[in-house]
Amino acid sequence: MWWVQRPSAWDNGHVSTSPRADTEDETQVGPRHIEVVGGRPADWRQLSDEQWVQRLADLGKIADHAGASWLTVRPFGPDPTDPSPLPPARTAATGGCVVVADPETDGRARLTRVIGALAAAGEEVSDSSIMLALNAPAETDPDLVVVLGNGHELPPSMVWELAYCELVFLDVSWADLHAAQLDEALATFLHRHRRFGGLD
């Protein structure tokens, strides 16, 4: 699941939709791009196809209702004791929100591969080209990253995306994730004054 150029419209055989027209609107209050990070690959493999369809639909409805154009779901990170291959990537669409479940567990490896692919394709390697390639089909870095699990450990499946996002930590397991928790995280996000990486 690696894109090295900005798509004008995304269609991989599963989803055919365009981002909301208002994604470039500077006055938008809610997040444009949300990421939910939780579970390990083994946890992801335990969900049946039907459970995946339901989970992505439920989360997508909440993200769509909040005005987001993209929702990305990632595992927290790798499990060194589990040599099994990663579960498959999945896509869905709910209203105006494109939902992507990306099983990549190593954010550093993903960043390295994207930069290598851009260079190999003769594309400019810049902040904007890296951002577009890492986040595709989303056209922005995430505004909100919801991290599941106990504690405030940052997910190794993400590196680049954490610089300017708002982080919300939820003490809930991947197995117990429901739409209500994402709704709770969005409420927290909407009550914050965003600093975009600043400390003051």
Please tell me the distance from the alpha carbon of residue 89 to that of residue 104, in angstroms, as a whole number: 9
Q: Give the best-scoring range by mean pLDDT among 24-33, 67-76, 143-152, 187-196.
A: 67-76
**Residue ranges covered by each domain of the chain:** 29-142+170-190
Over residues 111-128, the mean pLDDT reads 96
Is the predicted pLDDT of residue 155 greater than 90, yes or no? yes
Is the predicted pLDDT of residue 4 greater than 80, yes or no? no
pLDDT-derived band at 200, boundaries 50, 70, 90: very low
Tell me if 132 sits within 8 A of 121, measured CB to CB. Answer: no
Over residues 76-88, the mean pLDDT reads 91
What is the percent of the chain with per-residue pLDDT over 70, rounded to a whole number? 82
Is the predicted pLDDT of residue 24 greater than 50, yes or no? no
Q: Give the pairing of strands 90-94 and 97-101.
A: antiparallel
Is the predicted pLDDT of residue 5 greater than 50, yes or no? no
Q: How far is CA 70 from CA 3, 50, 91, 113, in A?
A: 15, 21, 11, 22
Partners of 73 in beta bridges: 36, 101
Residue type, 19: P
Tally Cβ neighbours within 10 Å of residue 143: 20
What is the percent of the chain with per-residue pLDDT over 90, rounded to a whole number? 72
Tell me if 36 sits within 8 A of 157, measured CB to CB. Answer: no
pLDDT at site 197 = 52
Q: How far is CA 54 from CA 35, 74, 130, in A?
A: 17, 16, 32
